[in-house]
Each structure stands twice: as C-alpha cells, then as structure tokens.
Amino acid sequence: MKLTLLDCTIVAAYFLFNLAIGFYYKARAGANMNEFFIGGRNIPWWLAGTSMVATTFAADTPLAVTGMVARNGIAGNWLWWNFVASGMLTVFLYARLWRRSGVMTDVEFAELRYSGRPAAFLRGFRALYLGIPINCIILGWVNLAMVKILVLILGVAKFQALIIVLALIALTSFISTLAGLWGVLVTDLFQFVIKMTMVIVLAVAAVSAVGGIDQMKLKLADIDRARGLASGTAGSVLSFTPDLNSAWMPMITFLVYISLNWWATWYPGAEPGGGGFVAQRMFCAKDEKNSLLATLWFNIAHYAIRPWPWILVGLASIILYPNLADAETGYVLVMIDYLPPSLRGLMVAAFAAAFMSTIGTQLNWGASYLVNDVYRRFLRPQEADTHYVAVSQWATVLLTVISAVVTFYMDSITGAWKLLIVTGAGTGTVLILRWFWWRINAWSEVAAMAAAFVVSVTLQIQFGLSSDDPIGFAKIMLITVGITTAVWLAVTFATAPEPMPKLLAFYRRVRPGGFWGPVAAQAPEVPPSRDTAWNLVDWLCGCVMIYGALFGVGKIILKEAALGSLFLAIAVAAGAFIYWDLSRRGWSSVMD
C-alpha cells in the first residue's frame, strides 16, 4: 500500500500529539508513585473505563476476530464472548471492594488479606511471574502482530517491520516513563477515538465492496451451501450460536465455555474477580462509584459496541478472499484494497494507536509490579518517592527491552503461551471466594496455583490431551478445575486460618459480604453487608443487558429489525433495572 505525503503527515501529527500529552503530564507523574501508577486515585469513570477498552483493543484484536469469523462464522466469537459473565461479576461484586482495599496493585492484595511468609511469597512470586514472563509474552504477541500488519501495509521485509515496531515501542515507553498513568489514560482516550472511527469506516467500505448487506447475506448463503450448511441455521456463517455438533465447538466444549471457563480460568484482562490492568483502573478511580461505573462502561463498550465493525470486515473477507492461507490477514487486505486512498494515513495511525495503547498500559502495569511489589517490598523499602519513580522509569525500559527480545523468538513461545493459559485453570474459585469467605488462607492460593499447574501439565504431557483440540480442552478444564478445587479446599481445612487481627483489619477496611460471621462478631461497629443478593441480581441483569445489546445491534445491522428490536428492548429493560437498583442504593449519583 502506497502512502502519500499527506498520509505521512497525518501519521506524524498523531505521534507528535501523543508526545505533547506525555510532556504535559510529566510534572504530575514525577511527584510520587501514587501519581505515576494510579493517577493519584483521582480518575473519573469515563476515562478509566475507556482506557480499559483501548487497552484490550490491540493491533492484533481485529485480525484475531476476522480469523474467528472466517473460520467459524459469527459464532466463532464465543471464544471470548463467554467472558461477559466474568466481566459483570467484577462490576457488581468486586469493583467497590478493590477500590476500598487501597492497594496499588492486585498482587499487593495478598499481604492485605493474608499474613506471614506465605503471603509474602504469594505477593513476590505473582509480581515476578505476571510482571515479567506473562507481561512480556503479551507484549511480544502484540509486537509480532504489528510486524505482520506492517509487512502487508508497507510492503517491507519482516526485519524492517520489526525495526519500525521497536521504534514505536521506544516512543510508547518514553511517553509511559515520562507521563505515568495519567499520560497513558489520556493517550488511550485519544487513541480509542481514532481506532473506533477508522474501524467503523473500514467496515462501511468492506460492506460496500461486497455490494451491501443484502448482497453480503446472499453471497454468504452461497458459501454456506457450498459448505453443506443451511443459511441462517446453526452452523452457518451468520449464526450467532455455534453448531454444537461441529468439530470446533462440540456441545461439551461450549458448555465448558459458558458454565466453567469464565470463572475458573485466569486470563489476562479477564481474571476472576478482577485483576491486572483492569484492577489498576479500579484503584485509580476517584471513589467506589467511579470504580463500578468504569468497569461497567468497559464491559458495555468491550462486548456490546466494539465487535460489530470487526465482524463485518471478517464476513466481507470470506467473500473477497475465500482461499487465504492465513484468514486473519483478510482484515489488512480489505484495508489495502478497499479503503479510500484519502483515509489510508488515518488507518495507519489507527493501527499505531491500537498498538501503542496496549503497549503503554502493559509497560506501566508491569513496572508497577516490579517496583511496588518486589523492589520496594523486598529490596529497598525505605526510599523516598522520587527514588521509586526513577526506578519505575528504568523498570519500564527493562520491560521494553525484554519484550523486544521475546518478539524475536515468538514462534517458539506460542506453545508456552497456550500452556500458561491452561495452567491457570482451577484457580478462579479461590480468587473469587477469598473476598467472601474468612476461612480461606494464603496456603489456599498456593495450593490452587500448584495443583492447577501440576494437573494441567500432567494431562497434556503424560496423557496427551491438547488444548488446541476442543474436546481435549474441555477435558483439561473439567479435570483440572475439579482436582484443583478439591486440593485447595482440603489444604484450607487442614491448615490454620489467618490470625484474627489480620482478618479483622481486612474486614474493617474492605467491609466484604458473604461468610464472615466469626470475624464480624468481633467487629460490631462495622455495618454488615446486606447487598450481596442484589449485587447478584444486578450481575444477572448485566449479562442480559450485554448479550441483548450485542445480539440486537447485530440483528439490526443484518436487517432483521424485528428480532433486533426485541433483543435491544430486553437490553434496555435489564439496564433500566440496574439503574433503578443503583439509584435506590445511592450509587447512580455519580452519573449526574
């Protein structure tokens, strides 16, 4: 794709604006660690929530969705749509608790909730594990996707594309070290506007290229018939639900996804009970109300608003490029072949924005683990804030360098990435219940982590089950979750509970609901939480609202207005109930 002088000028202006934001927030970020990592806990909900959305909109995300649609139709998106329930759980059960905790990172929670060496081990191990290998694999994955995009867009060799990506990483790292979280959040907002605008424009261009929605549906029906499927039925490209007799999503696998995967599996950005950069955005919110609304807006935008422009391009790519060896490249090819030339510079800037928003968050988040939970906690606990800010900047640079090295070897790490995801299976129950059950202790988490790793690795290496095989994935999940849950429960009852002073301090600070009877009896001054049942009702309504809006928008786009309107009406009714309940409890005033 040839870029004109105007295109290059637009891209350059985009980078200069990002730099200007970085310099604008430089003084604020350098004040102390609170400002650098959590924005002084003074971030409004709309900015924190939009930043979450921007972070999960990486350069590879549209390509991944295009690949899912090309291979398995619209229903292919259930591979990530199943996490709606996890996101809504974070909104209504955990967002306020995380904000009350007052911690700087989610791994710091270990020493807030538990005591002694097991708690210190949990904090240090998870900080190093998540901050370096997991974080840098995520960074390397995103880097590699951007390399592939640049190879297609600019027509350069892979090595040249990698040099450009490294330059983008260096620029993003510079802004992140310069401006801290405020700079990351504001650039995320700017980048999100560019990204969403251009993916919508590209979706319009893609649909026009195949002759409009009606022609798209007719041509996809022909493809269905060629594949031996009936248009509009389960298994067709346009079906919103998977064919449960298909090879890619048999019934057992689909049931695992919708009933087990979303709460039992640890996955970056969708941790059971919240965690990672999502938790960081909850910590930085102005108050509990802003924390709740930030995560609510994130889930609405992430699942109900953002997917359809990607899906439409994916559907068009099936028609325009039916024999692609790599289905994910269809997204970039549609851009190269059908986007109006006058918009190419903006589209390149949109890809750069998608890349930089994810990279900026991952660098800031990973550095917060290394500095707050390793360096300050275990190595240099008595230094001034200015010292820690300087170390944070160097930690950001270190992660940048490591992620660049990982990118070179990404092909060999892909298998390790899948292995790491599966080894988190089964830990979700303890991560969810540690807030609501006083009896859980540090050994419970240690046992869950160890059991999940040992069982999942044994199933894959010793018994030959593969996470790439849908039925193998389902078996790994069911067996790992079952054994891991039994192990951590047995360890919990076989070991002593946390000391009562530690439990009382946590209870008074966080005021959790659930099963805290023996602790609550010794803290009569803390009003007992009586809203757990209502929070669960809001959670259920939140899931109905998201899926109703997602399916309603999709049906209307595909010109099935009656069914689409019904879905949207259900979504509005569920949203109205949530608003009524939040208003009744005084939680909606922040929206005024």
- Winning range, highest mean pLDDT, from 263-277, 302-316, 400-414: 302-316
Is residue 418, in this structure, part of any structural domain at all? no
Instruction: Look at residue 260 in the predicted model and tell me its pLDDT.
Output: 87
Res. 232: pLDDT tops 90? no
Clarify whether residues 540 and 515 are in a common domain: no
The residue ranking higher by pLDDT, 312 or 591, is 312
Q: How far apart are CA 11 and CA 27, in angstroms?
A: 27
pLDDT digits (tens, 9 = 90+) for 290-315: 999 999 999 999 999 899 999 999 99
Q: Binning pLDDT at 50, 70 and 90, where does residue 16 land?
A: confident
Token pair, residue 415, equals: 């298998």
Q: What is the mean pLDDT of residues 186-193?
A: 86
Clarify whether residues 215 and 359 are in a common domain: yes
pLDDT digits (tens, 9 = 90+) for 157-189: 878 888 888 888 888 878 777 777 778 888 888
Least confident of 17-21, 126-130, 498-502, 575-579: 17-21
SS3 state of residue 57? coil
**% of residues, the chain, pLDDT over 70:** 92
Is residue 102, in this structure, part of any structural domain at all? yes
Clarify whether residues 564 and 436 are in a common domain: no
Q: How far apart are CA 177 and CA 390, in angstroms?
A: 9
Residue with tokens 């001034």, as numbered in its chain: 384
Res. 228: pLDDT tops 60? yes
Instruction: Look at residue 563 in the predicted model and tell me its pLDDT.
Output: 96
Instruction: Look at residue 267 in the predicted model and tell me its pLDDT.
Output: 65
Q: Binning pLDDT at 50, 70 and 90, where does residue 590 land?
A: very low
Q: How far apart are CA 406 and CA 356, in angstroms?
A: 17
Is residue 274, in this structure, part of any structural domain at all? yes
Q: What is the mean pLDDT of residues 99-116?
A: 91
The residue ranking higher by pLDDT, 27 or 51, is 51
Is residue 40, in this structure, part of any structural domain at all? yes
Clarify whether residues 441 and 559 are in a common domain: no
Is residue 416, in this structure, part of any structural domain at all? no
Clarify whether residues 151 and 270 are in a common domain: yes
Please report, for the domain that includes residue 58, its CATH number: 1.20.1730.10
pLDDT digits (tens, 9 = 90+) for 339-397: 888 787 888 888 888 888 788 778 888 888 999 899 999 999 888 878 888 888 888 88
Res. 435: pLDDT tops 80? yes
Res. 210: pLDDT tops 70? yes
Q: Among 529, 550, 575, where does a domain finish?
A: 529
Res. 414: pLDDT tops 50? no
Which DSSP category does 131 fall into? I
What is the number of structural domains in the chain?
4
Instruction: Look at residue 14 in the predicted model and tell me its pLDDT.
Output: 81
Q: What is the mean pLDDT of residues 125-142?
A: 83
**% of residues, the chain, pLDDT over 90:** 41
Q: How far apart are CA 146 and CA 304, in angstroms?
A: 25
Cβ neighbours for 80, distance < 8 A, ≥ 6 positions apart: none
Clarify whether residues 155 and 180 are in a common domain: yes
SS3 state of residue 515? strand
Instruction: Look at residue 419 in the predicted model and tell me its pLDDT.
Output: 56
Range of the domain at 588: 531-592
The answer to whether 422 touches 467, Cβ cutoff 8 Å, is yes
Instruction: Look at residue 126 in the predicted model and tell me its pLDDT.
Output: 87
Is residue 417, in this structure, part of any structural domain at all? no
Clarify whether residues 164 and 192 are in a common domain: yes
pLDDT digits (tens, 9 = 90+) for 505-560: 999 999 998 899 999 999 999 988 888 889 999 999 999 999 999 999 999 999 99
Clarify whether residues 436 and 504 are in a common domain: no
Clarify whether residues 590 and 476 are in a common domain: no
Instruction: Look at residue 485 in the predicted model and tell me its pLDDT.
Output: 93
Instruction: Look at residue 195 in the predicted model and tell me its pLDDT.
Output: 87
Q: Binning pLDDT at 50, 70 and 90, where does residue 32 land?
A: low
Element (DSSP H or E) covering residue 304: none
The answer to whether 83 touches 270, Cβ cutoff 8 Å, is yes
Query: What does pTM read for this prediction?
Result: 0.88
Is residue 341, in this structure, part of any structural domain at all? yes
Q: Amino acid identity, residue 274?
A: G
The answer to whether 434 touches 114, Cβ cutoff 8 Å, is no
Q: Binning pLDDT at 50, 70 and 90, where does residue 592 land?
A: very low
Cβ neighbours for 150, distance < 8 A, ≥ 6 positions apart: 156, 161, 164, 165
SS3 state of residue 323? coil
Alpha helices in 321-384 (DSSP H): 330-338, 344-368
Is residue 312, in this structure, part of any structural domain at all? yes
SS3 state of residue 25? coil
Q: How far apart are CA 257 and CA 78, in angstroms?
A: 8
Clarify whether residues 559 and 467 are in a common domain: no
Q: What is the mean pLDDT of residues 84-97?
A: 93
Q: Among 482, 512, 529, where does a domain finish?
A: 529
Across the chain, what does the average pLDDT equal?
A: 86
Q: Among 510, 529, 548, where does a domain finish?
A: 529
Clarify whether residues 486 and 555 are in a common domain: no
Q: How far is CA 105 from CA 4, 47, 272, 370, 502, in A?
A: 45, 19, 15, 10, 19
Instruction: Look at residue 412 in the predicted model and tell me its pLDDT.
Output: 42
5 burial via Cβ count (<10 Å: 0-12, 13-18, 19+): exposed
Q: How far apart are CA 195 and CA 108, in angstroms?
A: 33
Q: What is the mean pLDDT of residues 458-485?
A: 89
Res. 587: pLDDT tops 70? no
Clarify whether residues 537 and 394 are in a common domain: no
